[in-house]
Amino acid sequence: MESFVLHIVFHGELSWFLSRRNLEPELSLVRDRRASIKDIFESLGVPHTEVGQILCEGTPVDFHRIPTQDSRFDIHPVAPPLDVTCPTLLRPDPWKSVRFLVDDNVSRLTGLLRSVGLDAKHIKGAADTDLADIAEAQRRILLSRDIELLKRKKILFGRFIRATQPYLQLKEVLTFFGLEGPYALFSRCFLCNIPIRPIPKATVLHRLKPETRQYVDTLYTCPSCQKLFWHGPHCKAMLSRMAEVGINITPHNVA
């Protein structure tokens, strides 16, 4: 096949992902093989999960478009909020629910997402191949700071987490995916990622320390690990950290 020239403009934050030798957000490239626009921009460093719109000569196209001689592409980042339940040209098969898969490199997000009632799975030490398989099979949004992992074909929805501080990471995820509440706060087991249930205090008195027995009336238990939960000082501290980073925790959310 003869070589040809194509032109690509990366918009907004996407230029941040370009590998060092391609720092210019406007590129003219010579290619001599048939490759999709997705393969081409990923080879330049940009994971497909960060891309929200591709224009070819001003017309929206999908990831599979094969560039031709002198074709011009504009690659735009995802414009938040990204609603994974709404079909788009790039992601035509929407999901029914919002569920996350958390990579080791942002693992502290797991407990924080669960604390606001969201389904967040984390498997310590999981291989990239396994994470991609789980994300595809269970329809989970991958949260990671591993750009190569986010390029995997099986990852339909994902986010390269920008923030480094865990509460700011939580704010980033909630904002990016349009999860502005109200939240089912402290409704999920921190360990097992499943909803907890109320349990009569009288049935668990023998498991409570004297001070808890005295001051706590409403208790919950996890159907899997049987751990007991109640809204104590730890919950209040978490809520104030969330409020500090601008997460909208309204009083009626707090059980």
Q: Which is nearer to Zn ion, 22 or 187 (CB)?
A: 187
Give the contacts of 248 (CB within 8 A, at least 6 positions apart): 180, 181
Work out how close the CB of 199 gets to Zn ion at its nearest, in angstroms, rounded to a whole number: 13
CB of 190 to Zn ion, least distance (A): 7
Minimum distance from residue 224 beta carbon to Zn ion (Å): 5
Q: Evaluate whether 101 touches 121 at the Cβ level (below 8 Å).
A: yes
**Minimum distance from CB of 202 to Zn ion (Å)?**
22
Q: Report in angstroms how near the CB of residue 196 gets to Zn ion at its nearest.
A: 7
The structure tokens 């339909």 sit at 156
Q: What sign has the CA pseudo-torsion 152, 157, 160, 166? A: negative
For residue 33, give the DSSP letter: S
CB of 166 to Zn ion, least distance (A): 21
Whole-number Å distance between alpha carbons of 142 and 136: 10
CB atoms within 10 A of CB 71: 17
Q: Count the neighbouring beta carbons within 10 Å of the beta carbon of residue 67.
A: 22
Query: Please, what sign has the CA dihedral across residues 33, 34, 35, 40?
Result: positive
Q: CB under 8 Å to 253, separation ≥6 — which residues?
A: 181, 182, 183, 184, 185
Q: Could you give the 3-state DSSP secondary structure of residue 110?
A: helix
Give the bridge partners for 31, in sequence order: 4
For Zn ion, which is the closer residue by CB, 98 or 192?
192
Closer Cβ to Zn ion, 192 or 235, answer by number: 192
15 vs 115 by CB, closer to Zn ion: 115
Pick between residue 144 and residue 193 the one whose CB is nearest to Zn ion.
193
The CB-of-194 to Zn ion minimum distance in angstroms stands at: 6
Nearest in space to 158 (alpha carbons), one of 252, 240, 78, 232: 78
- Of 46 and 189, which CB lies nearer to Zn ion in the complex structure? 189
Rounded to 5 degrees, what are φ and ψ at 126?
A: -65, 140
Residues found near Zn ion in the complex (CB under 5 A): 189, 191-192, 222, 224-225
Residue with smaller CB distance to Zn ion, 56 or 192 = 192
